[in-house]
Amino acid sequence: MTFRTLQDADLKGKTALVRVDFNVPMENGQVQDDTRLCAALPTIELLSKAGAKVVLLAHFDRPKGKRVPEMSLKPVLDPLSALVRKPVAWADDCIGDPARNVISAMKPGDVALLENLRYHAGEEKNDPAFAQELAKLGDIYVNDAFSAAHRAHASTESVARLLPAYPGLSMERELNALNAALGNPQRPVLGIVGGSKVSTKLDLLKNLVTKLDKLAIGGGMANTFLYAQGHDVGASYCEKDLAETAREIIRLAGQSKCELLLPIDIVVAEQMAAGAPTRVRGLGNVDDHERILDAGPETVARLKRAMAHSKTLIWNGPLGVFEIPPFDKGTVEAAKEAARLAKEGKLVAVAGGGDTVSAMHHAGVAQDLTFISTAGGAFLEWMEGKVLPGVEALKV
């Protein structure tokens, strides 16, 4: 993949339209978590210091083409101004005179935030006329919102084809990490896929077994694979109607020479409750009233050995019900080993997807892995091998 880079661009005096992800957690008009605001800061700072006008485009929630006051981006203004350490101008629309007037009043280096893109139906419809209105506001386009790159919307796809387009620094870092994990990885490559449902990760599993050297399956979805192999899973969560699909994935892995690492022992309990008594069981040795809630110690030890013999790890989904101790043990132990190997430079360890980010923070290793993607759906679709419109539009 080849892209223009901001480091090579002539930015002085230019107006840069920067697509960011400011769809932040909000409560009573107050930003509850500024992680996504902070993610945009390096790109904002680079553009501002280079003498560009920095015009931020973002969506918030789902107003579905209407002005919904409680879905305004205006509450982001004060916390963003504090983070960039200067006033951020505000326009109460993202096109037309309100936007043009604010941009005209800006000086090189200034920053402005425009109102919610999704107040216009043309945004999600990827309407060419709406994209043209956005493009009229700037000289260059910068996409720093990988988390929205799987959507073919006007601000993520069409505008990138109307102006010279660049990935922002956050987007560039994400693309480099993903390329290192699956695009052009150091081999052997190990994948870990966990979570509760096989049904939500069918495309992911089918793609990964054709790309990886080894794939470990954990969490509730592992129960479906064990059931498909004839093992008793007791009262565990299990998608029994997907047993044949699981067997198909096992066959596909064999054809692709991808070694599947399914659990070889399991942790069971009668209740999914904090501090509940647990037992380690062999496969199929589960009572009718017991539930499989974590990977067993032998399974985790084998996974750690697989990490030690790999050069690249890509991880999506926990090995057990990590939110409820003691069922977090397998995930935490494996995460700490991945972090240790990454810190020692022995493993490129990339993780992503909702629960995965939470699990890595829970294990205390979020800062030690090579890269953690917070992009959610875009990260998963990329792992599934799907084309991401917002990334395609940036290619030279």
Residues with a known catalytic role: 36, 197, 354, 377
Q: Residue 267: left (phi > 0), alpha (psi -120 to 50), or beta? A: beta
Backbone angles phi, psi at 200, to 5 degrees: -85, -10
DSSP string, 186-249: PSSEEEEE-SS-STTSHHHHHHHTTT-SEEEE-HHHHHHHHHHTT---TTS---GGGHHHHHHH
- How many CA within 13 A on the CB side of residue 83? 20
Do the bridges between strand 259-261 and strand 265-269 make them parallel or antiparallel, or are there none, so unpaired?
unpaired
Q: Decide if 84 contacts 124 (C-beta within 8 A).
A: no
Taking the C-alpha atoms of residue 156 and residue 152, their distance in angstroms, rounded to an integer, is 6
Tell me how crowded residue 85 is: count the other CB atoms within 10 A of its CB.
8
Cβ-proximal residues to 28 (8 Å cutoff; 6+ apart), any chain? none
Strand duo 371-373 + 348-352: pairing? parallel
What's at 340, amino acid-wise? Answer: R
Buried b vs exposed e over 17-56: b needs ≥16 C-beta within 10 Å? bbbbbbbbebeeeebeebebbebbbbbbebbbebebbbbb
Residues, the chain? 396
Q: Please tell me the distance from the alpha carbon of residue 321 to that of residue 303, in angstroms, as a whole number.
A: 18
Q: Give dist(CA 381, CA 253) in Å, integer.
A: 20
**What contacts 225, CB < 8 A, 6 or more positions away?**
198, 217, 246, 249, 250, 262
